[in-house]
Amino acid sequence: MSEPNAAAREPVFNMPPPVIFLIGTLVAIYVGQAYILSPRSQAAMELWLAFNPARLFYADQVPGGFLPVIWTSVTYSFLHANWPHVLLNSAWLAIFGTPVARRYGTVRFLAVFLFASIAAAWGFALVQPFGYAALVGASGGISGLTGLAVRFIFQPIVWVRHPETDEPVPIGRHLASIREVFANTRARTLTIVWLALNAATPILPLLTGMQADIAWQAHIAGFLAGFFIAPMLEPRRSA
């Protein structure tokens, strides 16, 4: 027998299933990485699954050579350095992944995450081509979701007339052109502040004396990938 108010209750996690699934995957992998694998296995996992730009330029000096670049351009995004790293990315994913998943559905949501992850990895490699630092973390892919979300989350809702009842029906938010993004105060502010903060990351050590271990190159490349791919994801709407 059901409770009287059961139908009116809100779900505990008010997020689309693909967002919950991706967050759960990131957390589960980190739990296994941190608490199940031995230190030696952790090192092997990072060697074979983290993205290392050195493979592009010093392939003969890195175990496995160039070939792992093919899969590590994606697998690095499922690894994290510590709990704050994975939890911050999960919160960021919940905020910006939710509107993208609701608008585009599971397949395109995951496709954008993977596409932006690849773009972020190669952006990281192009800016830091001769470094040996390995790249891990989902922030590049989530940056892509952020860049995509900024194209519509601040835009007005589009209404159409129902063909039978003539009642107004909402069909979603307008996808902004690049000009419209920068004409909208909130969209413009988020875009400029987000890009500026990441671009300023390299000079933080000079200003604060603290080393900022942030892959700002990956964040910017991922954001731009999601920002510019938006029109290709829009479904064609019939009259």
pLDDT in tens, 66-79: 899 999 999 999 99
| pLDDT attached to residue 25 | 97
pLDDT in tens, 21-75: 999 999 999 999 999 999 999 999 999 999 998 888 887 888 888 899 999 999 9
Report the range of poorest mean pLDDT among 107-111, 141-145, 208-212. 208-212
Going by C-beta distance under 8 Å and a sequence separation of 6 or more, which residues neighbour residue 112?
Answer: 100, 104, 141, 144, 145, 148, 226, 229, 233
Query: Rounded to an integer, what distance in angstroms lies between the CA atom of residue 125 and that of residue 228?
Result: 20
Instruction: Please tell me which residue, 218 or 211, carries the higher pLDDT value.
Output: 218
| pLDDT attached to residue 62 | 83
Percentage of the residues of the chain whose pLDDT score is greater than 90: 64
Q: Is the pLDDT of residue 239 over 50?
A: no
Of the pLDDT bands very low, low, confident and very high (cuts 50, 70, 90), residue 210 is low
| pLDDT attached to residue 238 | 45
User: Residue 184 has what DSSP assignment?
Assistant: S
- Look-up: residue for tokens 């998943």? 101
